[in-house]
Amino acid sequence: MDFPIRVYYEDTDAGGVVYHANYLNFFERARTEFLRQYNFSQQELFAKSFAFVVRRVEIDYKSPARLDDLLKVETVILEVKKASVIFKQNLWKDEICLSSATVTVASVDLVKMKPVAIPDDIRQVLQIK
């Protein structure tokens, strides 16, 4: 799935370059929209005391994004485990990959704040994507 991102002033430093931590925000939004396209909203998951939380991020910054750039975040699933999902995400400007990340999210029971198996309905959808 591809998710468009426009770089706004608030995303940048004084030189108009995207601040490094904001790449994580871009990747987070894309993962949320990835789930939404399969009818899994964060609010509905929260109502069931379930959430995906970031457990691990490995990020590679290759080239800077700048103010007003129109970017896209490409999101694919590398692996679905019992209680986690590993995503590969790339941030593109035209044909240039500006950054890539491997993000592991864990499924958590929000009441107990402990790992829990991914619900079957979600697992079935994620395993075929």
Catalytic residues, which ones? 13
CA-CA-CA-CA dihedral for 89, 91, 97, 103, to nearest 10: -30
CA 7 to chain centre: 17
**What is the residue type of 69?**
D
Q: Are strands 50-61 and 96-109 parallel, antiparallel or unpaired?
A: antiparallel
Q: Which two tokens stand for residue 99?
A: 């950054």
Q: Give SS3 for 66.
A: strand
CB-count exposure of residue 121 (10 Å: 0-12, 13-18, 19+): exposed
